[in-house]
Each structure stands twice: as structure tokens, then as C-alpha cells.
Structure 1
Amino acid sequence: MQLKSNSLLKILVPVLLLGAGFAGLKSCHSSAHPGRYKQTSNTIADLSDDELRALGIDGDTPRDTVATLVGQMKQYRQEMETIRTSSAELVRENQRLRDRDNHFESRINSAINRERDTFNKKLQQQQTSLLDSFQQKLNQFGQKLPEPGNDIPPGLGLDQTDIPTTAMRWVEPADTLPADKRAQALSSGIPFSSSFGNAGDNAISRQKKALLEAAKGERNIGEATPVYTLPQNSTLTGSVAMTALLGRVPVNGTVNDPYPFKVLIGRDNLTANGTLLPDVEGAILSGTASGDWTLSCVRGTVHSVTFVFRDGTIRTVPEAVNKTDSHSSKPQDSEIGWISDPHGLPCIPGERKSNSAEYLSSQFLLTGSSAAAQAFANGQTTTSVEGGAVTSALTGNSGQYVLGQALGGGLKDSANWFKQRYGQTFDAIYVPPGHLVAIHLTRQIPVDYEPQGRKVKYAQTPGSKRKLD
């Protein structure tokens, strides 16, 4: 029996031999570089997951990782070189700026020194000029001597224009009547007074009489005729304030320079106990006002009253002590009454007027600015105490010191002028004119008629008329 070979074995045996040989070659090639892959594997193993993620090699092969690390090291070296170059440039720039600052400081100091020298020179020149001008004035005054006869005032008959002793000068009489423009004579034909008064009625006698009445403090009752009497505590209603009532608020209980006022009274209002005063056409009352800031009202005090009769005769009560000055008839102690509103309120309501806000703000600004300027000037000086003596020396900027002194002095003078001009804050109560008031008398008012008293208007005598052209 003959054995036959299997064809499958002929194919499988060579294939197995080839596979075994290829595996052996592969294993030999891998064992040639065992340390390299081991080192790379160990290096990658030393990095954490966050570091691998930051480097962007978490999913790369060891060869890619090594290439990435080498590239980043080159980049770091370039950045370090750039930083080193920038630092060197900054150091050079800093040195240059330091040198420039030192140069500017020296320039500023030199400029300040130049200005100081210029200011000192100008100041010395001005002082020298002033001293020279003063010396010239003194020399001129010393050289100018008074001429003889200059101390004699003119009009004593000692001047050169005096009339010679042999000449004659015409002096017009004191009572001569003036002629018209065409030098025509008056109606009497004589340019002198044609009638003469009583010899005892002259300027000297009238002045003597006025002095006696002023010394005694009384008037000549025999020349006046009693007509009416306004009793004490009388009330005159329906009067009208002719002027505005402006009452200053007292300062420390005193009203400085109070404002006057006037009140008009008609003939229908001058009644006493229902009795009419037909011969009196009206009256004018005058007084002074004061204000009350708390109540915002004005109080008025009546000092005098002037009655006007139907024929024009006037009578003032109380009579002036000095007849030549009517303003002296209203002293503060001659109070004869007070005023109120129609409802009897002794303090008439009004509007407040004050300049305290403007005065205080202006005074505060001026005095504050002056103090600030003085402090600015004093900041340029140094004060030292040695042996009980205080010494102040200028150690700062002289220009700033002079500027502060000038500003402080000017502002101080302005503050003094402002204070003297305004005196004090002005607070007053204002009531407009035309306000209805009532007069309350605190003294008895005698209404006397003087036949020879003063009148508002005098009738012209026929002899005093002139001839018409």
C-alpha cells in the first residue's frame, strides 16, 4: 500500500516558518533601543494631567511631546531676551529723565535768582528815586522864602488897588430900591424908600427880644389870643401820613438818627368833644419813628404841630426856642403825642428792610481775604526767639512775600472803608405813605391866634406896585 503526501502540509509549513522568522527579526529590532523609549516614557509619566493639558500634549506621542517641549523652550528664550532688552531700554530712559529733571531744577533756580535780583534792583531804584524827589522838594521849600507883605489879607485897604486918600467913592444907601432894566424911575419917582418904620422896630431890638424869650423859655402870651384848646388824651382820627413811616430798629436800646415823618389833619377832623374848629383850615404834625423788628411794625412819636388859620396865619406848638432855626423846635423831650393805626394799634405793621446779609457777607469776604493774604506773606518768613527777643526774617520767596503784604494791606483798607461807609447793619420797618393813622395827644395843645403872627401869604400894598412897560 503506497502512502500519498498531503498538499495542505506543503503550504502550511512554509508559512509557519516565515512567520516565525519575521517575529524573531521584529523582537531583535525592538531590543536594540530599549533605554530610549523607557526614558521618554518615564519623562512623560512625571508630568501631571493638568501640565500635559497646559502643554497641549495630553494626546500626543512621546516623540511629539519632546518636539513640543523643545519649541516652547525656544519661545521662552526669545521672550526672555525681549524682556532683557526692554529692561535695558527702561533703565536708559529712566537715567535720561533723571538727568533732565536735574537740568530743569537748575534752570528754575537760576530763573528765580534772576527775578529776585531784578526785583531787588527795581526796588532799590524806586527807593533812590523817591529819596531824590523828596530831597528836591525839601530843597525847593527851603529856597522859597515868603515875600514881604504876602501875609496881609486883601480888603484891609493896604493893597495897591486902594483908592487914594484924595478920591471919593459913592456908596448906595441900604434902603434904596432897585431900578428896572431901562433905568426908569419907580412909580414914586424917587429911588429911595418913601416910608420909615418905628424907630424901635429894628434888627437890634428884634434880636434882643428873641434872646430874652429864648433865655426865659416862654413866649409873649399878651400878643396871642386864645381861640381853641385840644385837651390832653384827645384822639384825632382819620389823619393821613403824608410821608412814609420808616422806623429804624434800635441798637442797644438807642435809635441813631431816626427818620422824621409828617401827618396831615383836615379841618373836619379838628374837633374836641364834638366842637368844630371852623377858623382852622388844617394842621400838620411832625415827629420821628422807630421800628420793632420782632413785631414788624413802626412806632411814631409826635413832637410838634402847626395850625393854619383861614386868613393864612400859622401857629406852631410847641414854639421853637430859637426862632431863627425851626429844626430846633422838635427835641426828643418835647413829645406831645403818638400815632396808631385806625384800629388803635400803637405799632403800625409794615415791611422789614435790612442789609445785614450783604453787609455781613461783604465784611466776611474782605476780612477773610485780608487775613489769608497776611498769612500767605507770613509763610515766607521765619520767626525765632533768642534771649527773650523775637526776630522775624525773610527766608522764603521775596516776591510772594511782597505780593501777600500788598494784597493784605489793600484788602484791610477796603474792609475799613466799607465798615466806615456803612457804619453798621441797617434794619428798619417800612410803611408806605398815605397810610391812615390816628393821633393820640399826651399834652394839652393851646390853639392861639396871633394877630401880628406870621402868615403863609401877605397882601401886597398899592405903593409897592411898579409901573408896567
Structure 2
Amino acid sequence: MMPRQSLLLKILLPVIVFLTVWLLLRPASKNTTEKSPSRSVATLTPEELRDLGIDGDTPADTVATLVGQMKQYRRELQAIQSDNESQQAREKRLKAQQATLVSELRGDMRRQQDQMRDELLKSQRGLLDKLDRLMAKRPDDIPPGLGLTPGELPADVQPDIRWLEPLDAPPPVDEKLLRVPLKTVDKPPPKPDVKVYTLPQNATLTGSIAMTALIGRVPLNGTVSDPYPFKLLIGEDNLTANGIELPDVAGAVVSGIASGDWTLSCVRGQITSMTFVFHDGTIRTVPQGGKPGNKQQEIGWLSDNQGLPCIPGERKSNAKEYLTSQFLLAGSGAAAQAFANGESTTVVEDGSITSAVTGNNGQYVLGQAIGGGLKETADWMKQHYGQMFDAVYVPPGHKVAVHLTEALSIDYEPEGRQVKYQQASTPGGLE
């Protein structure tokens, strides 16, 4: 029995050991096979490998590439963080500058208010002192005898000296007793005007001579601002030569205003009044008064001797000089302002706009000074030169014709004004 059991033991023992080892090794190999796919690189298409930049690379190259990209991402992230920090620091600096500007502005306003208050108080003190001086210089309006009768003072304060009216004082006069009613003499009524002549409507007076130059300003936007006046002289011979016989009239003076036509280079004249002088010196101006609501009533117009209603003349304009000077001044001022603005920074925050000088202060001040000076010069030129001037000029002495559009009634005023009054000499002195 013993040999048989030992033989069985020798056979079963190796089998049991083998099974035990096999059972122990089997889970390890399974885990190994399960973990091995995780170490393998996932299968990617060529396009995906090309997009990632790892086509044809080994796993080690791929890992190195990824590590380099991560380092680049970290550097970019650090740059962004540093930029954000610089922006925050700049924002803090701008806020500090804004607070400084606000405090300076408040301080300037407070100083100006204090200065204005001091000036106002000083002016008030000056007025009060002036009033005191005037009141001190005012004489006392006290009548003789202090304005009191001797009985009005108390008994214990009766003065020892009493006021007596001087003997040579004029006695009081009652004007009501001396007033004598006087009978007013009625003045004779003025003599009525004597109708002498009538210049009919559409009458023409040729041969007139322009005493002044005809300067016609060209209308701007359909209106003539500040038109120039003119005068014409019509002699007695001219009135007679036109078929109008006015033997008692020595001559006439025509007044009116002129306007220009730039396209035709001519001057249009509108007649507003005519003054006739008689041989005895009496003058008569027609019309005596304009129509209600009109400052100047047009009674005729001018033409040249050939009948042109617009008298040819010479063009005059300052557009070249005016526009050139304005262009240079305005352009230089804008350039100086832009140069100054280039040294400042404007920040918009919470709906408010804040501007601060962030560049060279000297250049900013220089640009502001030049821009302000050029702006003042441009304003001065606008005020003194007014505006662009276009006009047509006709020299004096030009012969023109007068065309009447209204009938003129020439009446003789017996008591009217005269150019010269003959004063009778009266003898004087002792004989």
C-alpha cells in the first residue's frame, strides 16, 4: 500500500502545482492583453494626421510635438495675462489723471468764483464810498432862521439872537394878481401849393449825367445787402430837349440805388426820388413820402443812351483774396488743432468723455496756441471784410437816360424851403 500511495502522490502533486501556476498566470496575461490596446496609437486618417502635423511621425515625435505646442500655448497665455495687467495699470493711471483733472477744474472754478465775489464786493464798496462822498458834498437845505418862528421853540431853548428879514429884501409877489389874460392871435393858414408841372408816367429824360459812380453789388441768394446809392444831374437844357418845357426849373437831381448783374456785367439803377430847384431858390422833392410800409418807393429806372436797361460796366470782386485767406487760415487752424489733439487721449467711460494730455505737453500747448491764434485772425478778417464782394462798376460822368414809371406832380410851395434866403439889411446905430 505504501508504494502505491507514494506513486499517486508523486503523480498528483506536479499536476496540482501546474494547475495552480496556470490559474495564477491566466488573469495576469488577460490584464496584459487588455491594457496593451490602450498603449497603442489610435488609428487616424491621413487627413487628420496632416491637420495635426504628425503625419509620418513616430509616437515619440508626436509626444514631442504636443509638448512643444503646450509650451507655446503657455507662452501665449502668459503674454495675454501680461497684456491684461498692463491694460489694467493703464486704466488705473487714466482714472488717476481724470481725478487729477477734475480736482484741478474744481479748484479753478472755486478760485474764479472767489475772484468774482471779491471784485463784486470791491465794486459795491466803491459805490457806497462814492455815495457817501456825494451825500457829504450836498449842501444843507435849511431856510433862514432854521425855518422856525420864535414861538415854536420851547421857552427854555429860546435863542438870544432872532432872525429879522433885511430891509432891502424884495416883497413877495402874487403872480395870480398880476396875471393878465392875453388874446391869442390866430396865425394865418399856410398858403396852398400851386400846381405847376406834371411829369407823366413813362416819360423819358435823356442826356442825364451820372454825378457819382454806379456800383451795383451782385445779389446773394436773391437779395442785395447794403446797396450803393447814386446821383444823376439833369440840367434845364436836358429837360427842354426832351420835349418837357419847365421854364421855371433850373435843374433836377435824381437819387436811387444800384444793383449788379455778374453774368451780363452791367448795373441796374432804380430811381427813388427827384429834387427840382426853381430859379427863385425854392426846392421841391418828389415823392414827398413813400408808400406805407415801404422805405423807398421806386419811381423809375435807368438805361444807357442806346436803350439798354442794364448799363455795361467793369466787374470787381475780392473772391480770390477773400477765399484764399480764409482757406489758408482755416486750414492752418485745423492742422494746428489736429497736431494738438495728437498729443492727447480721449476716453469714453459710462457715457462721459474725458480727454487728457498723454503726449508731449509742450507740443500740445504749441498746437493749441497756434490754432487759437489762427481762429482769432480768421474771425477778425470775417468781421472787417464782411463777406465775399462782387460788384459791377460804372465810372462817374457816364451818360444815362431816366425812365419814369410813376407820374410826378411838381407843385410850387409859396412858403416852401429855399436854397438861399435874401435878407433885407436894416440900418442901425445912432444918427
Would the TM-score normalized by the shorter structure come out above 0.5?
A: yes
Deviation of 1:152 after TM superposition, in Å, equals: 11
Task: Give the structure 2 partner of residue 295 of structure 1.
Answer: 264
Correspondence 1:312-461 to 2 at 5 A: 312-320=281-289, 331-332=295-296, 334-461=297-424
Task: Give the structure 1 partner of residue 161 of structure 2.
Answer: none
Task: Give the structure 1 partner of residue 207 of structure 2.
Answer: 238
Distance 1:138 1:290, change over 3 A: same
1:150 aligns with 2:119: no
SS in 1 for 2:238: coil
Q: TM-score, normalized by length of structure 2? A: 0.58
Distance 1:393 1:348, change over 3 A: same
2:270–2:302 CA contact under 8 A, matched in 1: yes
Deviation of 1:391 after TM superposition, in Å, equals: 3.3
Listed one character per residue, the Cα deviations across residues 381-401 of structure 1 (whole Å, up to 9, x for unaligned) are 123344554433221101111
Distance 1:140 1:258, change over 3 A: closer
Q: TM-score, normalized by length of structure 1? A: 0.54
Q: Distance in 1 between matches of 2:142 and 2:416?
A: 50
Deviation of 1:362 after TM superposition, in Å, equals: 0.5
SS in 2 for 1:454: coil
Task: Give the structure 2 partner of residue 262 of structure 1.
Answer: 231
Q: Distance in 1 between matches of 2:137 and 2:185?
A: 39
One-letter amino acid of the counterpart of residue 342, structure 1: N
Distance 1:273 1:243, change over 3 A: closer
| Comparing 409-418 and 447-456, the one that deviates more | 409-418
1:312–1:455 CA contact under 8 A, matched in 2: yes
Q: Distance in 2 between matches of 1:441 and 1:140?
A: 65
Deviation of 1:340 after TM superposition, in Å, equals: 0.7
Deviation of 1:459 after TM superposition, in Å, equals: 0.9
SS in 1 for 2:388: coil
Listed one character per residue, the Cα deviations across residues 193-244 of structure 1 (whole Å, up to 9, x for unaligned) are xxxxx95569xxxxxx9xxxxxxxxxx9x71111111111110011101000
Q: Distance in 2 between matches of 1:467 and 1:252?
A: 71
Quote the sequence identity (%): 60
Distance 1:140 1:388, change over 3 A: closer
Deviation of 1:139 after TM superposition, in Å, equals: 3.9
Q: Distance in 2 between matches of 1:299 and 1:153?
A: 62
Q: Distance in 2 between matches of 1:364 and 1:336?
A: 44
Task: Give the structure 2 partner of residue 160 of structure 1.
Answer: 138
Q: Distance in 2 between matches of 1:388 and 1:137?
A: 32
Correspondence 1:8-19 to 2 at 5 A: none
SS in 2 for 1:312: coil
1:303–1:331 CA contact under 8 A, matched in 2: no
Deviation of 1:466 after TM superposition, in Å, equals: 6.4
SS in 2 for 1:403: helix
Distance 1:137 1:267, change over 3 A: same
Distance 1:359 1:234, change over 3 A: same
Distance 1:201 1:147, change over 3 A: farther
One-letter amino acid of the counterpart of residue 400, structure 2: V
SS in 2 for 1:340: strand
Q: Distance in 1 between matches of 2:254 and 2:374?
A: 47
Q: Distance in 1 between matches of 2:252 and 2:293?
A: 16
